[in-house]
Homo-oligomer: A and B are copies of this chain.
Amino acid sequence: MIASEILKGKIASYALALGSPKRVLKRNEFLISKGSVERNMYIVESGSLRIFVRNNSGEITLRFGYKGSWMTSFPSFLTGKPSEFYIQAIKKSRLLVIQKKDFYHFIGSSPEHSELWIKMLEEFAVQQLDREIDVLTRSPLERYKRLLERSPTVFQEIPNKYIASYLRMSPETLSRLKKP
């Protein structure tokens, strides 16, 4: 039903058949840092990670990954330019590595596959617009409730301080919202 899930399954099988490598990250280790070019996609087999950027005022959390998630510095992967994003393991994590050339070979290997990629990009666009609304929502309480409704799993997988950053509020504010 969901293109990104179907594509993920197919790509994972394909990568396994090719003997694609795994990557294991220790807690706090970086998968990619600002300035390097992302040449892979990853599928999380275990553990959890976060994507963030640094700016003047600190860190901004953009996305989390845990078992089953796609993971990459998407703009860098797509454009070949250096990444603005950092990806860091929150806990020890194990990832399946899919190299860019393999990825595009797979996508280009049939109209069906390229159609799946289109669908996945369309889904991403829609999700991303939803995320924009989430982030623009005024009240911290509403932002919290939206996330709780949409991805309750996050609260089991990810420490609060990162969720707070993802919800653009301080950890203290999030902590207080969770009480009543």
Residue ranges of A at the interface with B (Cβ–Cβ < 8 Å): 53, 55-58, 60, 62, 74-75, 78-79, 84, 114, 117-118, 121-122, 124-126, 128-133, 135-139, 142, 168
- Checking B57, B62, B79, B126 against A75 with a beta-carbon cut-off of 8 angstroms, the contacting residue is B126
- Chain B residues near A122 (CB-CB < 8 A): 78, 121
Q: In the complex, what's the smallest C-beta–C-beta distance from A140 to chain B, in angstroms?
A: 11
Counted per complex, copies of this chain come to: 2
- Chain B residues near A55 (CB-CB < 8 A): 133, 137, 142
A contacts with B: majority SS: helix
CB pair B129–A75 under 8 Å, yes or no, is: yes
CB pair B53–A133 under 8 Å, yes or no, is: yes
Q: In the complex, what's the smallest C-beta–C-beta distance from A171 to chain B, in angstroms?
A: 14
